[in-house]
Structure 1
Amino acid sequence: MRVRKLEKKRGWAFTVAASILKPTLIAATSRTWIDGEKIPATGGCIVVVNHISHVDPLLSAHFVFDHGRLPRYLAKSGLFRNRYLGGFLGSAGQIPVERLTAGAVGAYDAAVAAIEAGECVVVYPEGTLTRDPDLWPMRGKSGAARLALATGAPVIPVGQWGAQRLLPPYSVRPDLFPRKHITMKAADPVPLADLLAVEATPAVVQQATDRIMAAIVAVVEELRGEKAPVERFDPSAAGVNVIGNPNKRARRKDQQ
């Protein structure tokens, strides 16, 4: 893999993060990056990724960073309440999200503004770690689709596998030995041109969401060498609390 030169100066926060986190990830993992050049080198874009571990943001940032972009995330607002961490995240251009409150609208507006300013925004369309017992992507939420329809920016699906071995879902202790292998693969932009030409009704937003999730699932199937369930896991229909820890209820492929 040839690392692409960054498209813009990274600033002090990214410099500090890269100098600390990247060597740590390199020491803790081996990596296969596939087709990362499909992430646009410049201009606003939305990178959508399946979510299987709390370490995902670090790994996807590594992937995006290695392909020349500075990733911006929608991060839980609670992280910004710490004086030092909040200052660091803000300096790195991350966007606070007030989950399940009217404040989420502000995060959406900030994400739209970032994309329109030419930034690369990384989104986990499932909204949280997957609750699927076998770690397949769940039913998606509408955030990524609404951003795409509002901005017209390309949506780049990325599938990943291996992070669950490094830090199993809802675990607090990473499993560092032996070194874990992480695979991430980008695919072609999700085809949304026909939906951009019509009003973004709830039905249109759902179509866009379904296409985004189908594109992510296709990449994950390729990486895992398996077929995903026909019906994606729906936490609401299953009565699963997406805020809590489902460890005691789920059979997971943590160590595969």
Structure 2
Amino acid sequence: MIAHFARLVNPLVSRRRWAGQEHIPKTGGVILVANHTSNYDPLALGEFIIWAGRWPRFLGKSEIWNVPGLGWFARKCEQIPVFRNTDRAINSLVHAEEALLTKHHAVAIYPEGTITADPDVWPMTGRRGAAQLALKTGVPVVPLVAVGPHRVLGQKNLEFGKLLGGRKPVSVMARPALDLSAYEGAEPTKEVLDDITELILDTLTEMVAEIRGEQPPPEGRYDMRLGRRVGDGAVRPE
């Protein structure tokens, strides 16, 4: 029902352009790492993933599960809550690991941990959760990006007025799985996890740049804690 709802609604508010669906494996556990630009991302990315032949299990902030109606949908669709900034945060990775290795699901995760605060909507610094999951499970890690969802519904804040401005261009693209063979069997040290996180975010940034036909900011990634771009790392301290 949700898949067909997205199929019906998305064309009303966006002009969609897709590329690279063939890079999403049809079977087996897979981690889908994506940039996060808007509250509209799950609809834009979800439709792309579903019509590539997989049902995505998104890791999302636990507050969603408290929203009437939306929380019910999240539970029914087997999405995975993340209890951010609590001692229960690690539980999301445990559930994601089970989904990947036991149920062989497709798990979608935003390495940035939240909607980007970059004023120009580039991927910002991230968290180590996606890297931890990749290292522990060894399943393929497929990068995908969406460019344009913030034009439909706003960036950090919901802007419903944008829905009245006509259909907005939204591009979704996937690339082949990342080559993480250099880290096979490695201990999950801070340095290793930071390296993998940087590789993920570098790849997502390159993909956004390709779609936008622009160069990423030379001063580096935006760090929401500092309120500026930094060039000395991809990871925000936990």
What TM-score comes out, normalization by structure 2 length?
A: 0.89
8 A Cα contact 1:77 1:97, kept in partner: yes
Query: 1:54-93 maps to which residues of 2 (within 5 A)?
Result: 54-82=39-67, 84-93=69-78
1:243 corresponds in structure 2 to none
Shift of residue 180, structure 1, vs aligned partner: 1.2
CA-CA distance at 1:22 after TM superposition: 2.3
How many residues are treated as equivalent by the alignment?
A: 225
Q: Cα offset for 1:191?
A: 1.5
Matched with 1:162 is 148
Structure 1 residues not aligned, in runs of 5+? 1-15, 241-256
Using the alignment, how far apart are the partners of 1:89 and 1:144 within structure 2? 20
Unmatched tracts of structure 2, length 5 or more: 230-238
Matches within 5 A, 1:98-137: 98-116=83-101, 117-137=103-123
What amino acid sits opposite 1:180 in the alignment?
K
Q: Confirm or deny: 8 A CA contact 2:36 2:123 kept in the other structure.
A: yes
Residue in 1 that maps onto 2:129: 143
Q: What is the aligned partner in structure 1 of residue 233 from structure 2?
A: none
How big is the shift at 1:87? 3.0
Paired letter, 2:98:
A
Q: Per-residue deviation at 1:211?
A: 0.4
Q: Does 1:205 find its partner at 2:190?
A: no
Q: Name the SS of the counterpart of 1:47 in structure 2.
A: strand
**Per-residue deviation, 1:111:** 0.6
The 5-angstrom pairing of residues 191-230 of structure 1 reads 191-230=179-218
Runs of 4+ in structure 1 displaced over 4 angstroms? Answer: none
Partners of 2:69 and 2:117 lie apart in 1 by 32
Say which SS state the counterpart of residue 16 (structure 2) adopts: strand
Equivalent of residue 45 in structure 1, options 19, 30, 39: 30
Distance (whole Å) between structure 2 residues aligned to residue 181 and residue 83 of structure 1: 30
The alpha-carbon distance between structure 1 residues 84 and 185, as it changes in their structure 2 partners (threshold 3 A), is: closer
Write out aligned runs for 1:243-254 (5 A): none
**Superposition TM-score, scaled by structure 1 size:** 0.83
Report the Cα offset of residue 20 of structure 1.
2.5
Identity %: 37
Quote the Cα distance in structure 1 between the aligned partners of 2:69 and 2:43.
19
- RMSD over equivalenced CA pairs, Å: 1.7
Shift in Å at residue 171 of structure 1? 2.9
Distance between the aligned counterparts of 1:31 and 1:81, measured in 2? Answer: 31
Contact 2:57 2:106 in 1 (8 A): yes
Letter in 2 for 1:123: I
Q: How does 1:227-238 map to 2 (within 5 A)?
A: 227-230=215-218, 231-238=220-227
How far apart are 1:83 and its partner, in Å? 5.8
Partner of 2:232: none
